[in-house]
Amino acid sequence: MQTLSVIVPCYNEEAVIQEFYNRTKKVLDSLRNENIDAYIIFINDGSKDKTKYILNCIAAQDDHAQVIHFSRNFGHQPAVTAGLNNCESDMAVIIDSDLQDPPELIPELVKAHLENEASVVYCVRKMRKGETFFKKFTAKMFYKTMNELSEVEFPRDTGDFRLIDKKAIKAFNQLKEKGKYIRGLICWIGFKQIPFYYDRDERFAGETKYPLKNMLVFAKKALLYFSKKPLKVSVSLGFIAFFIGIAYALWVWLGSWLGYTGAITGWTSTIILIIFFGGVQLLTIGVLGEYIGVLFDEVKNRPEYIIEEKMNFKEENE
């Protein structure tokens, strides 16, 4: 019998988590009839509402519902990482609990995985219901920019919603960097990966956990971990600034010699050049600082997350 784990990061989802569980349980019950033993791994990412209480109640009545409680809020990507680190199944589906990604699609993902012998089945959004034009436009520009700058090709209109098999899970768990951009890393590990197209629903209840500020932080992390091109752009800007400085010096020297300009009277142009060169220097230092910040986080070697409690895992029951 094959096994499946559904990995579900949760943060302040009291309004939706019970409905998500009810719908997902029906789906997993149907899979058990097809000789696939299925589990749910809920990761409570330091929720401050009743999410922890609801998950404890679910785990108490269903031993196929496994729960991990973090000691505080560590973020969405560490929560998904914890789910994969604690997954012992033959395959896993990563899905958020807001019901924008319908759990009823899980059997189709399993079918696509088995029929195509694919290690990864990533879900591509044909329609994004309930999302603003601004969010759709920025998402499109994000993937376009990342594909221009990155060493890895990222499928467009995708999120973390996907199925990955045991081989891909094992490869992912070997990656030790702390600031993970999971959908990028899953692309990076390779193996056979196929798309699955679907219509994304509106959020069932509650509020989005990815406002503009969080989206920008997420995009910056993806860029810093998957591209060195900002550093190359900084070097190019440095060369451009250098040649502009040389050209301007020649222009002033020739002007003084030939009499078509006065070096002393060029106050405005001097200030403009100072501002230009200062801006290039600050931009370059800023880019270097961001990469040094990534190195700083990595060399501290702190864990990505701290677990306060686990429920319904084998080692907890022995």
Q: What is the mean pLDDT of residues 24-46?
A: 88
- The closest of 70, 65, 68, 22 to 47, measured between CA atoms, is 70
Q: Which residue has the higher pLDDT, 216 or 126?
A: 126
Q: What is the mean pLDDT of residues 256-263?
A: 59
Residue-level pLDDT at 56: 93
pLDDT at 229 over 60: yes
Residue-level pLDDT at 318: 41
Ranges 88-97, 196-205, 248-257, most confident: 88-97
Of the pLDDT bands very low, low, confident and very high (cuts 50, 70, 90), residue 79 is very high
CB count within 10 Å of CB 34 equals 12
pLDDT by residue (tens digit) across 88-128?
Answer: 888 999 998 888 888 999 998 998 888 898 889 988 887 65
pLDDT at 198 over 80: yes
> Which residues in 262-291 are b (16+ Cβ under 10 Å) and which e?
eeeebeeeeeebeeeeeebeeebeebeeee
Q: Which residue has the higher pLDDT, 19 or 185?
A: 19
Residue 18 tokens, joined:
């019970």
Q: Which fold has domain 2-227+303-317?
A: Spore Coat Polysaccharide Biosynthesis Protein SpsA; Chain A (3.90.550)
Residue-level pLDDT at 196: 87
Q: What is the mean pLDDT of residues 244-262?
A: 66
- Do you know the residue count of the chain? 318
Kindly report the three-state secondary structure assignment for every residue of 195-240: EEEEEECCCCCCCCCCCHHHHHHHHHHHHHHHCCHHHHHHHHHHHH
